[in-house]
């Protein structure tokens, strides 16, 4: 096992130890302590992803694009962690949207290089994307979130994350036969989607801000990023 992969697993272990504490202190609101702990968790997944590039001699463009995606999410974390003000929420969401575009691009390039016979889009991915979008629309119809001026931007954002999950699942599932550990990629992407849906419910007050709900939302996000970061150690070698 590569020493840097061992380091990454240690980072994942540290995340697992810190995350319950962060979930506990993050309710009911943000403080200097919560910002510091969140920044620490964000640094861990960013470092985990970055170190994977040093485990291979040949680095392909999609590796750097993926790393930029993690960096964009790190910035989004920082902005949203500063306060609950709407402008910071919007700025953080824009940063996350850039991250999702980078993820989509990287997963598409990787799939095109590894599985050129499949093509950029296929029936299975189209079906999954349709399911995810319909689930989002169902939530909107049932809960009627007060998006107001953010109605179109929020829809665009959720269409993007649904596409990110679709491309991550498509790539990860294709790699399972030779690399079973790549199940981390689709699971991580799906956790990201669930976390964003839950965050939207909290932000637009369509679900009460309870400790269990907010804890699951927070935990799902950092588990998602760490799983996706760990999957890079297989992806860069495939």
- Is the distance from CB of 9 to CB of 226 less than 8 angstroms? no
| CB neighbour list of residue 43: distance below 8 Å, 6 or more residues apart | 74
Give the CA distances from residue 152 to residues 60, 155, 169, 171, 230, in Å, rounded to whole numbers and listed in that order: 35, 5, 26, 29, 33
Task: Give me the pLDDT at residue 221, please.
Answer: 95
What angle separates helix 3-25 from helix 32-52, to the nearest 10 degrees?
A: 160
Per-residue pLDDT, averaged over 126-155, amounts to: 82
Given a contact cutoff of 8 angstroms between Cβ atoms, the answer to whether 222 and 199 are in contact is no
All structural domains of the chain with their residue ranges: 3-235
| Prediction pTM value | 0.93
pLDDT tens-digit profile of 204-229?
Answer: 777 777 888 888 999 999 999 999 99
Q: Tell which wins on pLDDT, 12 or 177.
A: 12
Lowest mean pLDDT among 11-15, 57-61, 149-153: 149-153
Question: 50-103: per-residue pLDDT in tens?
Answer: 999 999 988 899 999 999 999 999 999 889 877 778 888 889 999 999 999 999
Q: Helices 151-175 and 211-235: crossing angle, nearest 10°?
A: 50
Q: Is the pLDDT of residue 167 over 80?
A: yes
Per cent of the chain over pLDDT 70 is: 99
For all residues of the chain together, what is the average pLDDT?
A: 89
Q: Which two structure tokens, joined as six digits, stand for 108?
A: 């598409």
Rounded Cα distance, 215 and 218, in Å: 5
Considering only residues 140 and 103, tell me which one the structure prediction assigns the higher pLDDT.
103
Give the pLDDT band of residue 203 (cuts 50, 70, 90). Answer: confident
């Amino acid at each position: 096992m590569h020493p840097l992969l061992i380091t990454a697993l240690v980072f994942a272990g540290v995340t697992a130890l810190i995350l319950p504490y962060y979930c506990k202190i993050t309710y009911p609101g943000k403080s200097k302590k919560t910002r510091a702990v969140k920044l620490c968790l964000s640094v861990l997944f960013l470092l985990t992803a970055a170190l994977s590039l040093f485990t291979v001699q040949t680095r392909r463009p999609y590796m750097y694009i993926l790393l930029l995606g993690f960096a964009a999410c790190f910035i989004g974390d920082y902005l949203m962690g500063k306060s609950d003000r709407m402008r910071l929420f919007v700025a953080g969401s824009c940063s996350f949207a850039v991250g999702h575009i980078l993820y989509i691009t990287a997963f598409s390039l990787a799939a095109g290089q590894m599985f050129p016979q499949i093509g950029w889009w296929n029936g299975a991915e189209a079906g999954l994307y349709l399911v995810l979008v319909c689930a989002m629309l169902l939530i909107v119809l049932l809960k009627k979130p007060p998006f107001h001026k953010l109605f179109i931007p929020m829809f665009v954002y959720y269409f993007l994350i649904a596409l990110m999950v679709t491309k991550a699942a498509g790539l990860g599932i294709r790699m399972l036969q030779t690399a079973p550990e790549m199940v981390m990629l689709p699971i991580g992407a799906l956790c990201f989607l669930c976390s964003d849906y839950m965050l939207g419910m909290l932000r637009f007050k369509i679900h009460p801000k309870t400790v269990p709900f907010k804890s699951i939302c927070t935990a799902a996000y950092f588990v998602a990023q760490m799983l996706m970061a760990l999957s890079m150690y297989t992806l860069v070698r495939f």
